[in-house]
A and B are shown apart, each in its own frame.
Chain A
Amino acid sequence: MGKYIIQRLLQSIVVLFGLSLFIFFIARVMPGDPARVALGSLATKEQVEKLTKEMHLDKPFPVQYYFWLKSILRGDLGKSWYTRRPVTTDLKAYIPATLELILFAFLISLVIGQVMGVLAGYFRNSWFDGLSRLISYIGVAAPPFVVAIFFLLTFTYILNLTPAVGRLSLGATPPPQLTSFIILDSLLAGRFDITLQALKHIVLPAASLALANIAQEGRITRTSISENLQKDYVMAHIVYGIPTKSTIFKYLLRPSLIPTVSVMGLAFAYQLTNAFLVEVVFMWPGFSRYAVTVMLNKDLNAIVAVVLVIGIAFSVVNIIVDIVVSFLDPRVRLQK
């Protein structure tokens, strides 16, 4: 198992290296002088020349890439031309908000998706199965930003239940930063009013992100539950008179979870990009909105960093999924 994980890690490093080469290439072939863009139109010719030298822009492409890779490996992602701050500072400031959002969305989709899938699978062809099928079709077909707009319209503007934008209301004092997750921080500080407010702010963006996952997870869990229900070992449990509850939760759920887990991992990583548009709609001050902003402003250093962060997130999630699947399925574990 350890050997397998190391092998997977090495593979991911190769992929990330290739990804960095690709995105660096794209960033350099684009028209326009990066040094001029970085300094703005008011800079003198000397300043531009100086920066060109500093950024090694006067050297051939492989040399540029070498210097760039060297600084990246030291943890220096360069300076964002748009925010005028080091990219690492920006990332540290924005990632927690997005992480809080996608973890919350993931929790929602996990609970609702599983419950929906298990019930729909167990009560096949009932009205509930039909309802869950309908939800799944909508969830798969509606892009997250469309869902976000419908939620905003319904729950904020028509029903007046939730606030429209941001993580907290204007004027609210955020709790002292310990984890950078406002919900956790406010709980730790004992400020339950802030917790409630943060929950109200997070629920719509999280639900918009979660709907697609609920749809997918629900469908997959339903299929594997209803397939496993027809297997002999489940029939044997029923015939022996083992209580239905323990048949479902102890013997049916575990093997049925395997396909769900593999999909869920990927779904979690996909939330990072689905959040791109959801964060724009809800003005959520997170990584994804930062990503969109720097991309629209052609902020090269930040774009490269954003793509790499997403690449790293995907690799890590994929490795975790493999480990969890091998934990759930002894066949996979023993094979490797």
Chain B
Amino acid sequence: MSRKELLVAVLSRKRASFSKGWYKYSRNPLSVLGFIILCLIILAAVFAPYITPYPEHAGAYTNFRESSQSPSPTYFFGTDTVGRDVFTRVVFGYRFSLVLAVVVLSLSIPPGVIMGLVAGYFQGSRIEIAIMRITDIFLAVPPLVLALAITVMLSPNLFNQMMAISLMWWPWYSRLVYSITTSLRHEYFVREAELTGASKLHILLREILPNCLAPILTKMSLDAGFVITVGASLSFLGLGVQPPKPGLGTMVADGAKRLPAEWWMAVFPALAIVMVILAFNLVGDGLRDMFAVEEV
């Protein structure tokens, strides 16, 4: 087989496995719905300055003549107490939520996965005991509590919030990867690699890690929702995105003070939070079906 033929063969196999995966994923219409909603939210957040009717309302803008307007064709979600369009601010608020999820997951997954691989592979060693005990300590209280304490002590803003949540998030991955690694540790393919003299690095990264990817990916999608929940909760307490920037949690907190007469200020940002978390959960469920992952 020539190089070109080989390439074509590999590509068509890849495409076949992709369409098989998509077939399994799309069996559940809710997963497809979640995927569509998620894509729309991401696109809206990325192109927020171009698609929102009043991009200048995302910052420190005031127009008291238009303040506290109820939803109308001019302002889909109404306006807030200083006359800013709630719809515009919700779309911009998605930017912060999505950035939070991306940053937290990309900061916390690599160390968590490495710790889990090492602890699981060197079962019975001191390294394993050290890593798993530290993991236990971080898992002893829910992430919100320590993230709250740390954000407060560092001074509240979006950056510190991201750092605090990332610090709380890696243990979940180290425990997930640890349990997979310990179960694979004595499989024949790992034994064989050991016998042929493969390096530890090769065994961990090329033999064991690929088997962890499906659960990690599934957990990532579900976790993105959780991270956004924790972030929104912190913002709700005033510990996230600082005004005048629009954070979804902050907007709900401000709007809650105006209930019930000016309900739109709290209700639409709250619905926006539910929508993005729901979308991530539906996609996560779909991935779980697709990879046939048992537990995440």
Of residues 228 to 263 in B, which have CB atoms within 8 Å of A's CB atoms?
Answer: 229, 232-233, 236-239, 252, 256, 259-260, 263
Of residues 272 to 305 in A, which have CB atoms within 8 Å of B's CB atoms?
Answer: 273, 276-277, 280-281, 291-292, 295-296, 298, 303
B266 partner residues in chain A, CB cutoff 8 A: 149, 153
Are A149's CB and B256's CB within 8 A? yes
Name the distance in Å between A331's Cβ and chain B's nearest Cβ. 18
Bound Cα distance from A19 to B233, whole angstroms: 23
Bound Cα distance from A152 to B137, whole angstroms: 36
Are A142's CB and B236's CB within 8 A? no
A153 partner residues in chain B, CB cutoff 8 A: 259-260, 263, 266-267
Smallest CB gap from B280: residue in A: A141
Tally inter-chain residue pairs, CB-CB below 8 A.
114
**Partner among B133, B148, B252 whose Cβ is within 8 Å of the Cβ of A149:** B252
Are A295's CB and B149's CB within 8 A? yes
Q: Which residues of B contact A (CB under 8 A)?
A: 30, 133-134, 136-137, 140-142, 144-146, 148-150, 152-154, 225, 229, 232-233, 236-239, 252, 256, 259-260, 263, 266-267, 270, 273-274, 277-278, 281-282
Contact of A68 with B by CB under 8 A: no
Evaluate whether A311 and B141 lie within 8 angstroms (CB atoms) in the complex, with A142-B277, A150-B270, A298-B152 already known: yes
**Partner among A16, A26, A306 whose Cβ is within 8 Å of the Cβ of B150:** A26
B239 partner residues in chain A, CB cutoff 8 A: 296
B140 partner residues in chain A, CB cutoff 8 A: 15-16, 18-19, 311, 314-315
Smallest CB gap from B222: residue in A: A140
Give the secondary structure class of B's interface: helix
Evaluate whether A30 and B233 lie within 8 angstroms (CB atoms) in the complex, with A149-B270, A315-B140 already known: no
Bound Cα distance from A310 to B147, whole angstroms: 14
A146 partner residues in chain B, CB cutoff 8 A: 252, 270, 273-274
Are B137's CB and A296's CB within 8 A? no
Contact of A14 with B by CB under 8 A: yes
Are A145's CB and B236's CB within 8 A? yes
Of residues 181 to 209 in A, which have CB atoms within 8 Å of B's CB atoms?
Answer: none
